């Protein structure tokens, strides 16, 4: 059932006090950051201790930026960091009221995580995925609680971006949706409801634009610099599409385009061969220090 904007069910997320997060990458540690600042106890899990250490360091630096901008105080930072517990095992989620999966954008990996995660959770624990494109219905079916499962797609970088897309699978209970919607408000974010179609709203619109920018480069219409400058100044975008692709991660961009292409069976969503080539080369953007720009020097330099 689709709920119209003027008849949204009332939710109460006050029973959610502990939030678990699977994956300590850019999205995972961003979600941990906003939950901890909002007063929630956070359990952050990753397979690698190194990833967890990097995540806590990144959270500290991002909290410092918020202090500089006058958004939080030093005491707020100390309290937030004190609310975050890290682990490499799922047992830490035994007392979690909500667990958000924020692993790599790969359906097989996500299903494996959900299958291992469910047995350690309380029966009443809510589950969510931060997937940016994959079917919530299919992911929910891989759990023991599809009625308490839904999509919570945070935007990157999480501490700065105000939107969270909320996606219900076919089995998601209205009480689950209402509770998570209320929680999003408590995090200081704005929820937008999206139907369970490939890539939802933001990426359904954004990624084809990025893919078209890559085609524009591939076909020699413009250079990296000219394409990004044209869109920044001509469309008033804060970041050019190729610079944005590097920020998102070219592997993530490709994965979303593949979901769109496979799920909607329309040739307009075919990933650009140049995007495929960059990913095959391991040029994934900022996280590998090379994508459409080279980030190894003091200033990013276009690679084409």
Mean pLDDT of all residues in the chain?
Answer: 95
In a domain, 280, yes or no: yes
User: Do 236 and 179 reside in the same domain of the chain?
Assistant: no
**Range of 218's domain?**
203-292
pLDDT greater than 80 at residue 8: no
**What's the DSSP call for residue 118?**
G
User: Do 277 and 160 reside in the same domain of the chain?
Assistant: no
Mean pLDDT score, 244-263: 96
At 270, give phi and psi (nearest 5°).
Answer: -65, 125
In a domain, 298, yes or no: no
Q: Give the torsion sign (CA, 11, 17, 18, 22).
A: positive
Q: How many domains does the chain have?
A: 2
pLDDT greater than 60 at residue 273: yes
Residue 4: pLDDT band (50, 70, 90) is: very low
Instruction: Determine whether 57 is an active site residue.
Output: no
User: Do 76 and 128 reside in the same domain of the chain?
Assistant: yes
Instruction: Determine whether 132 is an active site residue.
Output: yes
| Per-residue pLDDT at 10 | 75
In a domain, 84, yes or no: yes
Instruction: Determine whether 153 is an active site residue.
Output: yes
In a domain, 61, yes or no: yes
| Per-residue pLDDT at 9 | 63
Instruction: Determine whether 165 is an active site residue.
Output: yes
In a domain, 258, yes or no: yes
Catalytic residue among 132, 133, 135, 211: 132
In a domain, 2, yes or no: no
In a domain, 49, yes or no: yes
Do residues 93 and 101 make contact, with C-beta atoms less than 8 angstroms apart? no
Q: Give the torsion sign (CA, 132, 134, 138, 142).
A: negative
Catalytic residue among 129, 133, 153, 211: 153
CATH of residue 279: 1.10.1040.10
User: Do 238 and 281 reside in the same domain of the chain?
Assistant: yes
* CB count in 10 Å sphere of residue 73: 11
User: Do 39 and 144 reside in the same domain of the chain?
Assistant: yes
Q: Closest Cα to residue 102, out of 44, 183, 163?
A: 44
Catalytic residue among 62, 129, 133, 203: 203
Percent of the chain with pLDDT over 70: 97
User: Do 170 and 263 reside in the same domain of the chain?
Assistant: no
User: Do 94 and 231 reside in the same domain of the chain?
Assistant: no
pLDDT greater than 80 at residue 181: yes
pLDDT greater than 80 at residue 119: yes
User: Do 183 and 35 reside in the same domain of the chain?
Assistant: yes
Q: With b meaning 16 or more CB within 10 Å and e meaning fewer, what string describes 120-137? A: bbeeebbbbbbbbbbbbb
User: Do 143 and 218 reside in the same domain of the chain?
Assistant: no
User: Do 269 and 178 reside in the same domain of the chain?
Assistant: no
- As a whole number of angstroms, the distance between CA 44 and CA 52 comes to 8
Catalytic residue among 33, 101, 105, 165: 165
Q: 194, 215, 242: which is the final residue of a domain?
A: 194
Residue 28: pLDDT band (50, 70, 90) is: very high
CATH of residue 21: 3.40.50.720
Residues 6+ apart with CB under 8 A from 298: none
Q: Give the torsion sign (CA, 24, 171, 197, 153).
A: negative
Do residues 80 and 39 make contact, with C-beta atoms less than 8 angstroms apart? no
**What's the DSSP call for residue 103?**
-
User: Do 265 and 146 reside in the same domain of the chain?
Assistant: no
In a domain, 275, yes or no: yes
- As a whole number of angstroms, the distance between CA 58 and CA 12 comes to 31
User: Do 90 and 110 reside in the same domain of the chain?
Assistant: yes
């Amino acid at each position: 059932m689709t709920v119209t904007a003027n008849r949204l069910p009332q939710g109460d997320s006050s029973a959610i006090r502990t939030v678990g997060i699977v994956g300590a990458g850019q999205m995972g540690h961003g979600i941990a950051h906003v939950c901890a600042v909002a007063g929630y106890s956070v359990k952050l899990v990753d397979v690698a201790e190194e990833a967890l250490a990097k995540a806590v360091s990144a959270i500290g630096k991002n909290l410092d930026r918020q202090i500089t901008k006058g958004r939080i105080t030093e005491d707020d930072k100390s309290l937030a960091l004190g609310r975050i517990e890290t682990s490499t095992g799922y047992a830490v989620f035994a007392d979690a009221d909500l667990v958000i999966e924020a692993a790599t954008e790969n359906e097989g990996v996500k299903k494996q995580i959900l299958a291992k995660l469910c047995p350690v959770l309380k029966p009443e624990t809510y589950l969510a995925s931060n997937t940016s494109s994959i079917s919530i219905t299919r992911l929910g079916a891989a759990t023991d609680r599809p009625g308490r499962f839904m999509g919570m797609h945070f935007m990157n970088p999480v501490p700065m971006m105000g939107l969270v897309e909320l996606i219900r699978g076919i089995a998601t209970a209205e009480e689950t949706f209402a509770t998570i919607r209320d929680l999003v408000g408590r995090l200081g974010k704005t929820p937008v409801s999206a139907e369970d179609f490939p890539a939802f709203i933001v990426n359904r619109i954004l990624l084809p634009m990025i893919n078209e920018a890559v085609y524009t480069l591939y076909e020699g219409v413009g250079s990296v610099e000219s394409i990004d400058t044209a869109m920044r100044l001509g469309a008033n975008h804060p970041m050019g599409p190729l610079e944005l692709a590097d920020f998102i991660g070219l592997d993530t961009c490709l994965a979303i385009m593949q979901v769109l292409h496979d799920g909607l069976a329309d040739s307009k969503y075919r990933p650009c061969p140049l995007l495929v080539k960059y990913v095959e080369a391991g040029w994934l953007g900022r996280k590998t220090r090379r994508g459409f720009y080279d980030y190894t020097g003091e200033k990013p330099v276009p690679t084409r």
